[in-house]
Amino acid sequence: MVMRVSTFNQTSSVLQMAMTTQAKLAQVQQQQASGLISTEYGDLGSDAGTVLDLSVSIARSDALISSAERIATRSEMSASILGQISDLLTNTRTLVNATSTDIDIASLQSNAQNNLEDLASLVNTQYEGRYLFAGSLTETSPVDLTAYAATSLTTVNTDYYQGDDYIQTARVGEERSIDYGITGNDDAIEQAMRALSYLANASPLETSELADVSELLISAQDAIIAAQSASGTATNRLETFIENETSFKTEAESLATDLTSVDVAVATVEATTYKTQLEASYSALNVMINLSLVDYLNL
How does pLDDT run across 157-206, given as a tens digit for each residue?
Answer: 999 999 999 999 998 877 789 999 899 999 999 999 999 999 999 999 99
My answer on whether omega of the bond before 142 falls inside 30° of 0, hence cis, is no
The predicted pLDDT at position 93 comes to 97
Query: Looking at residues 233-251, what average pLDDT do you find?
Result: 95
Report phi then psi at 178, rounded to 5: -130, 120
Report phi then psi at 146, rounded to 5: -50, -50
Q: How far apart are CA 213 and CA 93, in angstroms?
A: 9
Instruction: Using the predicted structure, report yes or no on whether residue 34 has a pLDDT greater than 60.
Output: no
The predicted pLDDT at position 298 comes to 54
DSSP 137: -
Q: How far apart are CA 118 and CA 84, in angstroms?
A: 10
Helix axes 105-123, 48-97, angle to 10 degrees: 170
C-alpha neighbours within 13 Å on the C-beta side of residue 88: 26
Report phi then psi at 114, rounded to 5: -60, -45
Position 150, amino acid: A
Four-CA torsion 23, 26, 27, 28, nearest 10 degrees: 120
pLDDT band, residue 249 (cuts 50/70/90)? very high
DSSP 61: H
16-25, 93-102, 188-197, 253-262: range with highest mean pLDDT: 188-197
Handedness of CA 191, 194, 198, 200 (dihedral sign): positive
The predicted pLDDT at position 101 comes to 84
Burial 176-215 (b: 16+ CB within 10 A, else e): eebebbbbbbbbbbbbbbbbbbbbbbbeebeeeebeebbe
pLDDT band, residue 290 (cuts 50/70/90)? low
pLDDT band, residue 1 (cuts 50/70/90)? very low
Q: What would you measure as the largest C-alpha separation in the chain, in angstroms?
A: 134
C-alpha neighbours within 13 Å on the C-beta side of residue 54: 19
The predicted pLDDT at position 172 comes to 84
CB 127 within 8 A of CB 71: no
pLDDT tens per residue, range 108-135: 999 999 999 999 999 999 999 999 999 9
The predicted pLDDT at position 14 comes to 66
Q: How far apart are CA 239 and CA 248, in angstroms?
A: 14
Report phi then psi at 282, rounded to 5: -65, -35
In this structure, of 18-22, 103-107, 154-158, 208-212, the range with the lowest mean pLDDT score is 18-22
The predicted pLDDT at position 98 comes to 93
Higher local confidence (pLDDT), 34 or 122: 122
Instruction: Using the predicted structure, report yes or no on whether residue 102 has a pLDDT greater than 90.
Output: no
Query: Looking at residues 236-262, what average pLDDT do you find?
Result: 87
Alpha carbon of 154 to those of 51, 105, 150, 165, 168: distances in Å?
63, 21, 10, 22, 29
CB 112 within 8 A of CB 215: no
Question: What is the average pLDDT value for the chain, to the nearest integer?
Answer: 84
DSSP 159: T
E strand or H helix at 126: strand 126-127
Instruction: Using the predicted structure, report yes or no on whether residue 294 has a pLDDT greater than 60.
Output: no
